[in-house]
Amino acid sequence: MVPSTGRCGDCPRMRIRLTSDPTESIRKIQKISPMLRSVWRFSRVMGGWPNAKIVGVEPDTILAAKAARIYAGEDTVAVKSCAVGAEDGEIEFFVTANAQNTSIHAPSDSFHDDLHHDGVERTEKLPLKYLDGLLAGCDGPILLHADVQVAELAVLKGAGDHLDDVSVIVIESPNERAYDGTAGFNDIYRFFTAKCFRYEGPLGQLNSKKTGRIRQADSVYVRA
């Protein structure tokens, strides 16, 4: 990353240009908080930042137990089995045929139109935690990777003071409303710019199988 000075409203500005090597770009990250649905992603993060502490949050109880078994004994990895939102409590979780599409939000009609083989199989009650509490005692700088099936804005609002320790965020941003009652790209963009983050662009995208339009993308934000 290449920094320069300036200001963003009342916030000190540091312009950061991502290099072609993301590992080099954020090599000083000490804490990584991924909301992941893939053991492969855990392994990749561990390989890229061997000295960082990883906090993985997985709401699917079966997948969380699997990850906990795989990383048992790893001092740098903590697996939290819960849903993440803007408060503590309990919430209904919609489990779909494809575990990667499960969410605290019900899939919309457009979701079913595009992924008609991936309907809701069951719902279950899960503990709901806010991110600030899950990261209690953790110091920055933090890389936050949130892939939470359009619960992103609730996760961000629950980050509390720990958002000040976040340097880089990779977050799933929906372009189309695939789940009921959720925020879109514009809502997430406005949240981050108000918090002095700058949008760097997409890392990847998911296109609709039916229309070909971009349904969602992994967006990168850096602290300005």
Give the Cα separation of 192 and 215 in Å (integer): 20
Residues in the chain: 224
pLDDT band for position 108 (cuts 50, 70, 90): low
pTM: 0.69
Report all structural domains of the chain as residue ranges with CATH numbers, in order of start: 20-223 (3.40.50.150)
Per-residue pLDDT tens over the stretch 53-88: 888 888 888 888 988 898 898 888 888 888 888 888
- Token pair listed for 25: 């770009």
Greatest CA separation for the chain = 51
Greatest mean pLDDT among 43-47, 118-122, 166-170, 204-208:
166-170
Instruction: Give the three-class secondary structure for 22.
Output: helix
pLDDT tens-digit readout, 115-132: 556 656 677 888 989 889
Residue 15 pLDDT class (50, 70, 90 cuts): very low
Residue 139, SS3?
A: coil
Contact between 80 and 103 (Cβ < 8 Å): no
Distance of CA 152 to the CA centre of its chain: 7
